[in-house]
Amino acid sequence: MEEFTAEKLSQYNGKNQPTPIYISVKGRVFDVTSGSSFYGPGGSYEMFAGKDASRALAKMSKNDEDISPNLDGLTEKEITVLNDWEKKFEAKYPVVGRYITC
Residues 6+ apart with CB under 8 A from 72: none
pLDDT tens-digit map of 48-96: 999 999 999 999 999 999 999 999 999 999 999 999 999 999 999 999 9
- What pLDDT band is residue 101 in, cutting at 50, 70 and 90? confident
Distances in whole angstroms, Cα of residue 1 to Cα of each of 31, 54, 73, 100: 13, 20, 29, 12
Mean pLDDT of 2-23: 95
CATH number at residue 53: 3.10.120.10
pLDDT of residue 60: 97
Mean pLDDT of 24-38: 97
Number of domains in the chain: 1
Q: What percent of the chain has pLDDT over 90?
A: 94
The domain of 26 spans: 2-99
